[in-house]
A = this chain, B = another copy of it.
Amino acid sequence: MELWFREVENKDTFIGFRVNSVLHRERSKYQDIAILDTPTFGRMLVLDGIVQTTVEDEFFYHEMIAHVPLFAHPNPRRVLVIGGGDGGTVREVLKHDTVEHVDLVEIDGRVIELCKQYLPELSHGLDDPRVTIKVTDGLEYVKTVRGQYDVVIVDSSDPLGPAVGLFTEAFYRDVAGALKDDGVMVAQTESPWLTPEVVRDVVKAIGNAFDGHAYLFLTSVPIYSLGQWSFTMGTKGIDPRTPRIPLDEMPPIETRYYTPEIHAAAFALPRFTRELLGLKA
């Protein structure tokens, strides 16, 4: 038989993926979780019908959400990842020798357990002794920590369901509080072309929480159609647009997407995106 999964982009557009098999399906306390095996993308994690990550293309996303903030910070030692239960972001963070400790705060323990079982390529870093997993609500967690982290990475799903609070100014203010004085944060912030209002509002919220220091950057993620995907950094003064390490002195971390040249290029924004953010065209 032919088995197809249909991911709805908006009510008028969807992507269809042929499915070899449904490896797991359940409704957790928070969401519908599925692990599918597909021919082009390999195994994929699907939450509430939206693809979160796939084995074949995950490096586009995880390398950019991790290495841009970690190479922007002068000496990242303590890192907090909110969401990211698949482990891909933590795996990339751990490539930095400066990193002494990573806290992963994921609201849904079932995502972690299932990714450990079905997506070892992503989740293997979660077993590293430098990592502490906290199965709790990131929104609440950041209220309880002050001045502890060098980098906070908000690796959330879309602003629907359990992740909606992770796109608010109140949350980003708490993140700012959880950071040390030279700390930086990054969040995945959706598609400037497909959902421009979401991007505009979230960049404004981060700017408000970080005294105007909000920096949007772009990459392309095959599975996050259609078009470019955005991330936004908030900092306490650090300008993240150039990596602290020159191209020819980059430490030998293994990447498939990130390079220092890509780091700088990612902050170049198309004119329509600049206009969306109210930047000088």
Measured CB to CB, the closest approach of chain B to A10, in angstroms, equals 6
Judge whether A168 is part of the interface by a CB distance below 8 angstroms. no
Judge whether A97 is part of the interface by a CB distance below 8 angstroms. no
Measured CB to CB, the closest approach of chain B to A281, in angstroms, equals 8
Question: Is there contact, CB below 8 Å, between B274 and A270?
Answer: no
A13/B6 contact (C-beta < 8 A), A220-B228, A226-B225 known: no
Judge whether A256 is part of the interface by a CB distance below 8 angstroms. yes
Contact of A39 among B12, B265, B271, B281 (CB under 8 A): B12
1/0 per residue, CB under 8 A from B, across A235-268: the answer is 0000000000000000000011111011011101
Chain A: interface size category: 35 or more
Interface residue ranges of A4-41 to B (CB < 8 Å): 6, 10-18, 38-41
Query: What are the residues of chain B within 8 A of A218 when measuring CB–CB?
Result: 220
Measured CB to CB, the closest approach of chain B to A243, in angstroms, equals 12
A-side residues, CB < 8 A to B, are 6, 10-18, 38-41, 57, 59-60, 193-194, 218, 220-223, 225-228, 255-259, 261-262, 264-266, 268-272, 274, 281
